[in-house]
Amino acid sequence: MNKLDSALVSSALAQQGYELTDKATDADVIIINTCSVREHAEDRVFSNLGHIKHLKKDRPQLLVAVIGCMAQRLGEELLSHDSVDIVAGPTQIDEIPALITRALAEHQKQLSVTDEIRRQPPDERESELDDFEVAYDSDKHHLKSQAFIRVMRGCNNFCSYCIVPYVRGPEVSRPPAVIFEQARRLAEQGIRQITLLGQTVNSYRYKGARIYTLADLLEQISEIEGLHWIRFITSHPGKFEESILNAMATLPKVCPYLHIPAQSGSNKILKAMNRGYTAEQYIELMDKARAIVPDLAIAGDFIVGFPGETDEDFQATEHMIRRVRYKNCFIFKYSPRPGTRAEQKLADDVPAEVKQQRNVRLLEVVNQIAEANNRVFEGRTLEVLVEGPSKKAHLNKAEHLNEPQLIGRTAHDYIVVFNGPESLTGQFVNVRIVKTSALTLFGELA
């Protein structure tokens, strides 16, 4: 979501004549797009602002904007920081170019956040944000041939640990006609993979002439010529409709990949997290998903060290990971977020060392499973969408060693590394897998 916001803002500024630089010392304006999901992410922003303070000493005219979730959460407090000139929340991304112009003209700090973030935004505001989204979606893509389209804003789930509903506001589904038109235009411009984004993307629901669901979107977007793969993230296991699985099973362009976080395997913890399902219901849903989409790749998120998590609760999580056999999991240490129900009502009582041990242990389990799973790919040829040169030098005793090492992903979201010309970036190629590890498949261009 943040990558998309950053891309929209930078292409809006590019159209106003700004140029992107990757060196802070060259910049006239520095924009920091922030995340509030864990304290660590916020700490890093403050440490960056500390560095920027030194830059500002030499160049007092340097303008610094802090945008995104942290801006909404801290508002005035952030604005009072010596380094900060502009603070704008995630529901104000369309105002950023104007805020910069005003700050330059008036030599004054600018603040734009939503006062009552949980209030349903008026329709005009929604269409303004939609217009911004549509106007600036085509300039800048995180990866060649790939684009994100937001289908929903905000979240109404209020998982007890989570800050998102308090910084991104209420859940709103964007009109299907606008989404479809965006997808069609992006495909025309050469985009081959579209990822639909929402905090709980499976609950997409738009009331027009009839009710449109995520399955309807998948079906419509599938018909667009030129598009090859369609993905959607992130799914919530509560109220997951079978129609989405059926769409995945029957529409060849919809990738057989589900990112569907369980967060914990213990019913006691799931209840305290306000997730709205039990471990048994989650496992039943995953079994059903695999029955409908037999080769489905499942990815998850887990939080370790949630308040009250005992060894027994933790073992239940370990058990769930073994039972579901995830393709990969993101593991997070619980971080109390100010204003959330968990932070207000529950003591952060799992010691830091225990959180750390549990984090390491779960990663070991996830990797064990992945290592065994990935071996089945040895000798197979897979279709890969090439992302570009690999940033990390992988050990790969393959052919074409005179060519750079490229990285790409399969429809199931497996990471594939192989040697080939950089000109393949953004293209689909076939790669024969020769070696595998827990995180990577290594291959040769077929």
Q: Under the rule (CB under 6 A), what is the footprint of ligand SAH?
A: 37-38, 161-162, 164, 199-200, 234, 236, 261, 263, 301, 303, 332, 334-335, 337
- 158 contact, one of ligand SF4, ligand SAH, none, CB 5-8 Å limit per kind: ligand SF4
- 165 contact, one of ligand SF4, ligand SAH, none, CB 5-8 Å limit per kind: ligand SF4
- Quote the CA–CA distance of 259 and 406 in Å, as a whole number: 24
The tokens describing 274, both together, are 């306000």
In the complex, what is the shortest distance from the CB of residue 412 to ligand SAH, in angstroms, rounded to a whole number?
19
157 binds ligand SF4 (CB under 6 A): yes
- Quote the CA–CA distance of 118 and 210 in Å, as a whole number: 26
- Quote the CA–CA distance of 300 and 298 in Å, as a whole number: 7
Cα 214 versus chain centre, distance:
17
- 154 contact, one of ligand SAH, ligand SF4, none, CB 5-8 Å limit per kind: none
Q: Which residues neighbour 351 within 8 Å (Cβ) at sequence distance 6 or greater?
A: none
282 close to 290: Cβ distance less than 8 angstroms: no
CB of 36 or CB of 92, closer to ligand SAH: 36
In the complex, what is the shortest distance from the CB of residue 402 to ligand SAH, in angstroms, rounded to a whole number?
41
CA nearest to 307, candidates 276, 266, 278? 266
214 binds ligand SF4 (CB under 6 A): no
278 binds ligand SF4 (CB under 6 A): no
63 binds ligand SF4 (CB under 6 A): no
In degrees, rounded to 5, the angle at the alpha carbon of residue 229 between the alpha carbons of residues 298 and 168 is 65
For residue 87, give the 3-state DSSP assignment: strand
Task: Name which position in 4, 103, 164, 386 contacts ligand SF4 (CB under 6 A).
Answer: 164
199 binds ligand SF4 (CB under 6 A): yes
213 binds ligand SF4 (CB under 6 A): no
- 121 contact, one of ligand SAH, ligand SF4, none, CB 5-8 Å limit per kind: none
- 343 contact, one of ligand SF4, ligand SAH, none, CB 5-8 Å limit per kind: none
- 193 contact, one of ligand SAH, ligand SF4, none, CB 5-8 Å limit per kind: none
In the complex, what is the shortest distance from the CB of residue 163 to ligand SAH, in angstroms, rounded to a whole number?
7
Task: Name which position in 158, 185, 341, 427 contacts ligand SF4 (CB under 6 A).
Answer: 158
Q: Is residue 289 left, alpha or beta, with left meaning phi > 0 and alpha meaning psi from -120 to 50? A: alpha
CB of 86 or CB of 255, closer to ligand SAH: 255
CB of 332 or CB of 442, closer to ligand SAH: 332
Burial 136-159 (b: 16+ CB within 10 A, else e): bbbebbebebbbbbbbbbbbebeb
366 close to 326: Cβ distance less than 8 angstroms: yes
Cα 116 versus chain centre, distance:
25
In the complex, what is the shortest distance from the CB of residue 22 to ligand SAH, in angstroms, rounded to a whole number?
26
Q: Which amino acid, 321? A: I
In the complex, what is the shortest distance from the CB of residue 377 to ligand SF4, in angstroms, rounded to a whole number?
31
Q: What is the dihedral of CA 181, 185, 187, 191, to 10 degrees?
A: -110
184 close to 198: Cβ distance less than 8 angstroms: no
- 74 contact, one of ligand SAH, ligand SF4, none, CB 5-8 Å limit per kind: none
In the complex, what is the shortest distance from the CB of residue 199 to ligand SAH, in angstroms, rounded to a whole number?
4
Residues between 399 and 428 with contacts to ligand SF4, criterion CB under 6 A:
none
334 close to 303: Cβ distance less than 8 angstroms: yes
Task: Name which position in 91, 173, 200, 335 contacts ligand SF4 (CB under 6 A).
Answer: 200
Q: Which residues bind ligand SF4 (CB under 6 A)?
A: 155, 157-159, 162, 164-165, 199-200, 236
